[in-house]
A and B are shown apart, each in its own frame.
Chain A
């Protein structure tokens, strides 16, 4: 398309811009320096008349590129929505007049600031093209659900009810998962007083009767290829059959395993059949089928039972699970009721350190107390099991009795959930060696003793044919990664959603809610993929990374760093972009040392030319220039909100929003310093364990890259203070202006950059 480009600048005089700024001068600047062919001023650009003026210019004057000098790019997005044109916004309202005092002495610097933003807007729009949308799309509408437990069945039913075909893959021979192994479930309806039916049989029947849901039992996902909207999934059945399904989006509901009670010999597991885990008790209750629950050792009815909470959980020694699984207190309460409801004379004691009953569990807990279940606050040290009798030795935490004891016929250990999340693709070499050693030890022990020691080698759940590994990246303790605050369902693989206890420990109520949400997110993802649009957080974005492959040096930085595994390598080792997997963060663009990766409306050039467009006054002007590269997700909105509060900050900063700190290419910083900027502030989200980065790894990767900037500064003989890395949260509305002013003062103290005017 060799279409003629025509640039237009529109300068708004509303919201006080006209009174505070010299609009004629700005217009002149756009024409002369900005080389805009059409320059118009308007008293109220975002009203119907103003927008009509722009639309008319597009339709009748052949305007293709639009620079709007008005408010922040985050404001009036509906009015200034021109999807077929390249649009740049110069932020004169939130970026200039709202953060500057309306005084005579501030007038000059305020005007300077506005002029620079107009120059920057013009420079940016000239480097842009209107995003055309990803053409490499697929339009498959089928949702694949991996795992046929409660979460998987819920996701399948919900997606089907919404009108999307579903393929459900279950490893075992029947649907239901752990929920099917329960005798009863924790009640979910008023009055929350007694255990209730699990409802699993009903769900399985609904799935069987649903022609929209295709079920593969005894099957696993052998291979997942492609991208959202066009996944190709091989499903291997135990019998040896391999089927291929075309899939739009995937929900991984691979669930959990109970923490292996064999690791808890000090709590008597394995020493006596009368010590069981919660699943063991469910099996006993199912076998009793409503009758008295029998002691495994001799088949006599149980007369006393002790429940040990947090068995192998909330462990600070590092030997067992460090976290709380959140459901086990309610489960023990439910299981104590199995006994009490049948025979109130049975002694049931729950030994807990902190009883936590989420949801409506408090009513359930109270009901158990009314039924006579005894709750004892204590920490269990050991369970001695000899013959049919068990003695629980514990430290009574209320009475501070170190040697408290309870005799019981049956001891139930609440062991907690371990996610079934497949292979940890980020495992370090050290961890891999540890795992191999444990495996070798286990096989040796199995060979030498009659008692086989269990060792479960992790197997992949999805078998993704992605360059970065076969499974979803994990966060802590093997749970799959997601942005817990803003986008809890999103994993780090676009179009693949995890639901249920594979994401975090949870009970059945939470799992159903989680699975329902994941089903809707999967539908949203496949619909977006079909339209060539991004998923969160740049939802609806039509731009996507383009690579000038002839310039590529095959350094692999983009394929390694992409937080979403969007980039594979082709047979010639060149990066192969899967646009539908991409979230448009630009981390690849920031990583590329030869700068061959760009987006149509966001590139090394669009930002670089803005940096170069700023007028740099000479060394003696007492007007330093500070470049701020602000993350558009947190830092830029924080600056906008600071402006709404009229929090003032230095007139010497020039703010450029970036998609993510990860997209910052170090060339921008070098260019800025060479051009004579006196300081550079980088504002990105928190990284690490409590990360806030909307692209999960972007800010971390960006910061790692920028840690090398010190060398650049050294080579240029510049002070290290000239580049400042800031962790900014969206709530830093009052802090940020203060920090900017402090930094401006620091720059004033160390003096102007010697690089001006070269």
Chain B
């Protein structure tokens, strides 16, 4: 049984309850009063990636539309500007709920595959957790050479690299970019300890939420 099926069975279509227990800050969803200020405040203006504004997402959760919510690209479109949180008259942490929903959908394997935000997040996470700090050179090169689906694309990488040439030279001149970082660069001490800490945190979090580890 997949993680997704397991959760669906466990919550017997009570999706609101599932969100409350599984999603970061999910217990706030019931407090939404459907005024729509969050949707009206969003600077992304709901360009075609946004299927459902936050107000709608919250309503869908209450209406039990589990598949639709978890497979939606909407929460991946959030730019974390926090305008909605500032303006929400009910003080819902909307940005955090959006990220919480995205994380949960990813965990269940339901998040959309072709999603730049998802790929950026993955790249960032793997880069940062490897040595304990972000390697800007490998991170940006990784972005140049990977397409929206996360596959290597040499042509695109060279093209984007050339586009950014001027910026890179400027950074070099200002000693803000060290080309030798390509060989691994500087790292945190005790990388083993960092990996162990992250693994432990993940295990604790999974246990708390009643999820399977791994």
Contact = CB atoms under 8 A, between A and B. Distances in A.
Nearest to B20: A372
12 contacts: A365-B33, A366-B31, A369-B30, A370-B31, A372-B30, A374-B62, A375-B33, A375-B62, A377-B34, A396-B63, A399-B59, A401-B63
B63 A399 contact: yes
Interface in A371-410: 372, 374-377, 396, 398-399, 401, 404
Interface string A180-223: 00000000000000000000000000000000000000000000
Interface string A329-356: 0000000000000000000000000010
Nearest to B65: A399
A362 to B, nearest CB: 9
Contacts of B56: 398-399
Interface in B94-113: none
A550 to B, nearest CB: 70
B16 interface: yes
B63 A376 contact: yes
B87 to A, nearest CB: 17
Contact of B59 (A365, A366, A398): A398
Interface size class of B (residues with CB under 8 A): 10 to 19
Contacts of A369: 30-31, 33
A400 to B, nearest CB: 9
A401 B60 CA distance: 11
A-B complex: 5 closest residue pairs judged by Cβ atoms: A398-B59, A369-B31, A377-B34, A369-B30, A374-B62
Nearest to A352: B34
A566 B76 CA distance: 73
Contacts of A398: 34, 55-56, 59
Interface string A578-601: 000000000000000000000000
A374 B29 CA distance: 10
A337 to B, nearest CB: 14
A374 B59 contact: no
A387 B110 CA distance: 40
Interface string B138-169: 00000000000000000000000000000000
Given A365-B33, A366-B31, 17 more contacts: A369-B30, A369-B31, A369-B33, A370-B31, A372-B30, A374-B16, A374-B30, A374-B62, A375-B62, A376-B62, A376-B63, A377-B59, A396-B59, A398-B34, A399-B56, A399-B60, A401-B63
Interface string B33-61: 11000000000000000000001100110
Interface string B84-95: 000000100000
> Which of A365, A375, A404 is packed against the most chain B CB atoms within 10 Å?
A375
Given A398-B56, A399-B56, A375 B63 contact: no
A485 B34 CA distance: 33
Question: Looking at chain A, what size class is its interface with the partner chain?
Answer: 10 to 19
Contacts of B63: 376, 396, 399, 401, 404
Contacts of A399: 56, 59-60, 63, 65
A374 to B, nearest CB: 5
Interface string B59-78: 11011010000000000000
Contacts of B62: 374-376
B52 to A, nearest CB: 8
B76 to A, nearest CB: 20
B34 A375 contact: yes
B158 to A, nearest CB: 45
Contacts of A401: 63
B187 to A, nearest CB: 47
A380 to B, nearest CB: 15
Interface centre among B16, B33, B60, B65 (most CB of A within 10 A): B33
A396 B59 CA distance: 9
A377 to B, nearest CB: 5
B31 to A, nearest CB: 5
Contacts of B59: 376-377, 396, 398-399
Contacts of B90: 366
Contacts of B65: 399
B64 to A, nearest CB: 10
Interface in B1-24: 16
Contacts of B55: 398
B59 to A, nearest CB: 4
Contact of A355 (B31, B33, B60): B33
Nearest to A377: B34
Contacts of A365: 33
B194 to A, nearest CB: 39
Contacts of B34: 375, 377, 398
A360 to B, nearest CB: 16
A365 B62 CA distance: 17
Contacts of A372: 30
A366 B91 CA distance: 12
A365 to B, nearest CB: 7
A396 B30 CA distance: 17
A372 B30 CA distance: 7
Nearest to A401: B63
Nearest to B89: A362
Contacts of B30: 369-370, 372, 374
A365 B32 CA distance: 11
A587 B62 CA distance: 61
Interface centre among B31, B34, B56, B65 (most CB of A within 10 A): B34
Nearest to A371: B30
A374 B33 CA distance: 10
* Most chain A beta-carbon neighbours within 10 Å: one of B55, B60, B63: B63
Interface string B118-146: 00000000000000000000000000000
A540 B25 CA distance: 64
A351 to B, nearest CB: 11
